[in-house]
């Protein structure tokens, strides 16, 4: 485990891995089955696997959320060891941000909708830390989950716009048996909330089903998904933050579905915010 940027840089140089592929799995810790999938994929494809564990204050718009974010360093290290990770980079905030940053990554229109609309500055913080982590670890490949589809789209675009010599690898969402997308936040749910939480995926699946039956009016597809959510859980009401149907590439809302779209939603289950999405490629 390394806490210092300098140590990672020196280690990187000493590894003499010019002929090996270095893979980075950026995380905020609280590792779960979704992260394990990213790490396994990186392990299969890369000679050296680096996992970063850093709860990035810059991407939290809400201080309570930052304070509540689960921190499980010992378990994270054990998982990394079990999965054969070569380097764990777990810096302190003061190491990553020795001074408040003046410069950050402006992510433009890709952050206008979905989570970006409700979490001002969030994706600026994400893109900025990911760019910094790319600089520190200098990976050839970096692994991200499809569950955070907007994050993934922004990172892909940043990588292209800044000519970063890094391949962004997308890994499909890992789900529990009842469909709930695996997330670090799931452990904040009480048993009742946990029972209600899969409704989000059920709503997205219903929207997907309507599209597969030929419905092309986005507002009707959305309405069908919203009906699933509103009828889902009498004991734990779900508060829908957004449920949108957006172009899969630009992430801008569509009225009629004529090309691949992402159906994405965020709901509050009690005081925990969950997100999920599905990609629909028309047949
Ligand atoms: O997806 C996450 O865990 C974070 O947003 C990331 C990419 C590690 C940046 O802090």
pLDDT for 119-149, tens place per residue? Answer: 999 999 999 999 999 999 999 999 999 999 9
Q: What integer is the mean pLDDT of 268-276?
A: 96
Asked if 110 contacts 150 with a C-beta cutoff of 8 angstroms, the reply is: yes
Q: Identify the residues whose C-beta falls under 6 Å from ligand 1.
A: 26-28, 56, 59, 126, 129-130, 148, 151
Residue from 32, 61, 130, 158 to probe ligand 1 pocket by mutation (most atoms less than 8 Å from CB): 130
Q: What integer is the mean pLDDT of 231-239?
A: 82
Asked if 262 contacts 269 with a C-beta cutoff of 8 angstroms, the reply is: no
Task: Give 76 Cα–ligand 1 centroid separation in angstroms.
Answer: 15
Query: Which H or E run includes 143?
Result: strand 141-145
The C-alpha angle 199, 200, 204, rounded to 5 degrees, equals 115
**CA–CA distance, 125 with 137 (Å, rounded to integer):** 18
CA-nearest residue, atom 5 of ligand 1: 126
**CA–CA distance, 22 with 223 (Å, rounded to integer):** 45
Atom of ligand 1 minimally distant from the CA of 126: 9
The reply to whether 122 belongs to the active site is no
In 3D space, the residue among 184, 181, 209 whose CA is nearest the CA of residue 277 turns out to be 181
Assigned token pair, 19: 């002929």
Residue 118 has pLDDT above 80, yes or no: yes
Task: Give 281 Cα–ligand 1 centroid separation in angstroms.
Answer: 26
Task: Give 28 Cα–ligand 1 centroid separation in angstroms.
Answer: 6
Task: Give 220 Cα–ligand 1 centroid separation in angstroms.
Answer: 33
Task: Give 144 Cα–ligand 1 centroid separation in angstroms.
Answer: 8
pLDDT in tens, 87-116: 999 999 999 999 999 999 999 999 999 999
pTM over 0.85: yes
Residue 19 has pLDDT above 60, yes or no: no
Atom of ligand 1 minimally distant from the CA of 54: 10
Asked if 134 contacts 166 with a C-beta cutoff of 8 angstroms, the reply is: yes
CA-nearest residue, atom 8 of ligand 1: 27
CA-nearest residue, atom 6 of ligand 1: 27
pLDDT in tens, 186-214: 999 999 999 999 999 999 999 999 999 99
Residue 201: its pLDDT value, please? Answer: 98
Residue 43: its pLDDT value, please? Answer: 96
Residue 225 has pLDDT above 70, yes or no: yes
Residue 15: its pLDDT value, please? Answer: 65
Residue from 26, 51, 182 to probe ligand 1 pocket by mutation (most atoms less than 8 Å from CB): 26
Q: What is the mean pLDDT of the chain?
A: 94
**CA–CA distance, 9 with 157 (Å, rounded to integer):** 26
Atom of ligand 1 minimally distant from the CA of 55: 10
Residue 22: its pLDDT value, please? Answer: 94
Residue 41: its pLDDT value, please? Answer: 98
Residue from 34, 65, 122, 151 to probe ligand 1 pocket by mutation (most atoms less than 8 Å from CB): 151
Task: Give 237 Cα–ligand 1 centroid separation in angstroms.
Answer: 28
Walk across the sheet containing 272-280 and list its strands.
238-247, 261-269, 272-280
Atom of ligand 1 minimally distant from the CA of 155: 7
């Amino acid at each position: 485990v390394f806490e210092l940027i300098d140590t990672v840089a020196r280690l990187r140089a000493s590894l003499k891995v010019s002929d090996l592929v270095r893979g980075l799995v950026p995380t905020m810790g609280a590792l779960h089955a979704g992260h394990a999938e990213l790490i396994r994929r990186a392990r299969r494809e890369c000679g050296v696997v680096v996992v970063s564990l850093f709860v990035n204050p810059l991407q939290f718009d809400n201080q309570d959320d930052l304070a509540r974010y689960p921190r499980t360093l010992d378990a994270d290290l054990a998982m990394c060891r079990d999965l054969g990770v070569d380097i764990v980079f777990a810096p302190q905030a003061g190491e990553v941000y020795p001074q408040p940053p003046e410069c950050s990554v402006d992510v433009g229109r890709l952050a206008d909708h979905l989570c970006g609309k409700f979490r001002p500055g969030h994706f600026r913080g994400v893109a900025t830390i990911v760019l910094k982590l790319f600089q520190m670890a200098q990976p050839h490949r970096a692994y991200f989950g499809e569950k955070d589809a907007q994050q993934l789209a922004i990172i892909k675009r940043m990588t292209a716009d800044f000519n970063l010599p890094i391949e962004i690898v997308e890994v499909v969402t890992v789900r529990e048996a009842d469909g709930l997308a695996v997330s670090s936040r799931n452990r904040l749910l009480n048993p009742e909330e946990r029972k209600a939480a899969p409704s989000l995926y059920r709503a997205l699946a219903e929207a997907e089903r309507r599209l597969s039956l030929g419905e092309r009016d986005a507002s009707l597809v959305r309405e069908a998904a919203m009906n699933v959510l509103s009828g889902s859980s009498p004991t734990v009401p779900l508060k829908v933050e957004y449920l949108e149907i957006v172009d899969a590439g630009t992430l801008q809302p569509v009225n009629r579905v004529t090309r691949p779209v992402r159906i994405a939603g965020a709901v509050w289950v009690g005081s925990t915010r969950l997100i999920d999405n599905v990609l629909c490629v028309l047949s």
